[in-house]
């Protein structure tokens, strides 16, 4: 049977990890009776015991068992008390507040540290209307995006890919240390590092399998991440966008505008667009705003976020070593923050307040099913060509 040849051990591990994630996802959104878990477990055991000669059926049986295991773990996890959040790096926040005025200081803190508690209500509302509040709501997807931008920057500066990847991983973890090592940033750092490792090995298939395996382990440790941790959700979706969509977008951009390849901009734009498209439906689901102006706002703002984070990272390092020297980075960062605020101000007219868009869970699921089908169709066409 040809199916037996296709099912390598790495693929089997990938399917088992997917089964765990699916189990946690089902229990996170639906109430599942205990008898169904027992039935899934027994059914999987039945397939393994009576069809042990057929590899495909045996793998399916194990998938049912791991599905039941993920559902059971999520059911138990719902009863446990979550871990207390770690304190943020107060010294770094004080540095930001000292060198920037309001609202730039609050916006910059939100981008770097993932919080928006101190941001003025008027600006929160404007960012909602412009559809960009997710940028300062969480830092997970920003960290994943920054890791890829650092690789792109290293290669553009003439470094070998392995050196660029290694440097990016080191800088990402040093950045996480500087911002106080919050749990959401650590989880995003793990995903970003695994993505960098798989990319360095030059095997795209390993990227998706490694990330799915990492996500399944994280969910087994803390199942509530899938439902309650927006940072985990957005960072995982951003990684999927970078794995599946970014290469397609890069090829398309080079085909349409060849000067982007000569200017080393095709990969930069593809990375930003892929991460944004994969996180867009979830952002709308949580924040409730979407319009044509939000599309324009994200196109104009998303590419500068990694630049702001990179300059902010340098500011934190210099400020950590010798605080007065941090002033060198204030002017360019302030320029980008003013640009951010100006775009938000232009693209958040009050009339949009009447056009809130709320996704139900079913519509959110349909959005991602449609997105997955579109990417799959595009990949199939590219393979045929």
Residues 189 and 223 in one domain: yes
Domain boundary among 15, 47, 77: 77
Q: Which residues lie closer than 8 Å to 307 by C-beta, 6 or more apart?
A: 149, 336
Distances (CA, A) of 150 to 241, 267, 345: 17, 12, 29
Residue 80 dihedral angles phi and psi, to the nearest 5°: -85, 155
Residues 235 and 271 in one domain: yes
Assigned domain for 85 exists: no
| Residue 37 to residue 23: CA distance in whole angstroms | 10
Residues 59 and 147 occupy one common structural domain? no
Do 113 and 38 belong together in one domain?
A: no
Q: Which domain holds residue 372?
A: 95-384
Is the same domain home to 245 and 297? yes
Angle between helices 266-287 and 246-256 (to 10 degrees): 130
Same domain, 36 and 113: no
> Which of 44, 77, 110 lies at the terminal end of a domain, its last residue?
77
- The whole-number pLDDT of residue 385 equals 44
Are 130 and 73 within one domain? no
CA distance 139 to 185: 7
258 with 151, same domain: the answer is yes
Torsion, Cα 21 23 27 28, to 10 degrees, reads: 10
Give the per-residue pLDDT at 93: 66
Q: Are residues 115 and 176 in the same domain?
A: yes
d(CA 22, CA 38): 17
Instruction: Let me know if residue 41 belongs to a domain.
Output: yes
DSSP conformation class of 87: P
Distance CA 227, CA 355 (A): 26
Residue 45 lies in a domain: yes
CA distance 284 to 282: 5
In this predicted structure, what is the pLDDT of residue 370?
92
Per the rule left: phi > 0, alpha: psi between -120 and 50, beta: everything else, 114 is left
Tell whether 133 and 18 lie within a shared domain.
no
Q: What is the pLDDT of residues 359-369, one digit of tens each?
A: 777 888 898 99
Does 113 share its domain with 64? no
Are 247 and 335 in the same domain? yes
Dihedrals phi, psi of 356, to nearest 5 degrees: -70, 140
The CA distance from 34 to 382, in Å, is 45
Q: Show which of 77, 106, 127 is a domain's final residue.
A: 77
Domain assignment present for 13: yes
Q: Is residue 90 part of a domain?
A: no
Per the domain annotation, does 379 fall within a domain?
A: yes
Please give the tally of structural domains in the chain. 2
Assess if residue 104 is contained within a domain.
yes
**Residues 282, 236 contacting (CB under 8 angstroms):** no
Strand ranges in the chain using DSSP code E only, listed in sequence order: none
CA torsion sign, 302 to 307 to 313 to 316?
negative
pLDDT in tens, 58-95: 889 999 999 988 888 888 764 444 444 444 555 566 77
Low pLDDT (below 70) residues in the chain: 1-7, 77-93, 114-118, 136-141, 199-207, 262-264, 288-292, 350-358, 382-385
- Asked if residues 172 and 143 have their Cβ atoms less than 8 Å apart, the reply is yes
């Amino acid at each position: 049977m040809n199916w037996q040849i296709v099912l390598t051990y790495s693929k089997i591990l990938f399917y088992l990890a997917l089964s765990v994630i699916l189990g946690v996802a089902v229990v996170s959104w639906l109430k599942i009776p205990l008898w169904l878990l027992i039935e899934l477990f027994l059914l999987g055991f039945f397939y393994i015991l009576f069809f042990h000669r057929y590899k495909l059926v045996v793998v399916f049986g194990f998938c049912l068992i791991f599905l039941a295991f993920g559902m059971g773990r999520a059911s138990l996890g719902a009863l446990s008390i979550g871990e207390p959040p770690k304190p943020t790096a107060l010294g770094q926040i004080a540095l930001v507040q000292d060198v920037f005025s309001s609202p730039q200081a609050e916006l910059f803190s939100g981008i770097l540290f993932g919080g928006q508690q101190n941001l003025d209500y008027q600006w929160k509302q404007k960012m909602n209307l412009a559809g960009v509040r997710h940028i300062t709501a969480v830092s997970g997807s920003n960290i994943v995006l920054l890791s890829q931008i650092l690789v792109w920057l290293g290669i553009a500066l003439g470094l070998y890919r392995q050196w660029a990847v290694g440097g990016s991983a080191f800088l990402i973890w040093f950045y996480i240390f500087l911002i106080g090592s919050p749990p959401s940033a650590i989880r995003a750092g793990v995903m970003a590092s695994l993505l960098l490792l798989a990319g360095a090995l030059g095997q795209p298939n390993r990227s998706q399998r490694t990330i799915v395996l990492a996500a399944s382990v994280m969910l087994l440790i803390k199942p509530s991440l899938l439902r309650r941790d927006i940072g985990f959700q957005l960072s995982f979706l951003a990684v999927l966008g970078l794995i599946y969509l970014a290469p397609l977008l890069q090829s398309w951009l080079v085909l349409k505008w060849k000067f982007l390849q000569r200017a080393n901009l095709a990969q930069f734009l593809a990375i930003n667009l892929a991460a944004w498209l994969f996180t867009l439906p979830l952002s709308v689901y949580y924040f409730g705003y979407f319009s044509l102006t939000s599309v324009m706002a994200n196109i104009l703002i998303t590419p500068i976020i990694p630049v702001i984070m990179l300059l902010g990272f340098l500011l934190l390092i210099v400020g950590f070593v010798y605080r007065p020297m941090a002033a060198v980075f204030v002017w360019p960062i302030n320029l980008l923050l003013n640009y951010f605020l100006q775009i938000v101000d232009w693209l958040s007219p009050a009339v949009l307040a009447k056009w809130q868009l709320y996704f139900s869970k079913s519509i959110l699921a349909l959005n991602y099913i449609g997105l997955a089908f579109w990417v799959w169709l595009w990949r199939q066409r590219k393979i045929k060509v």
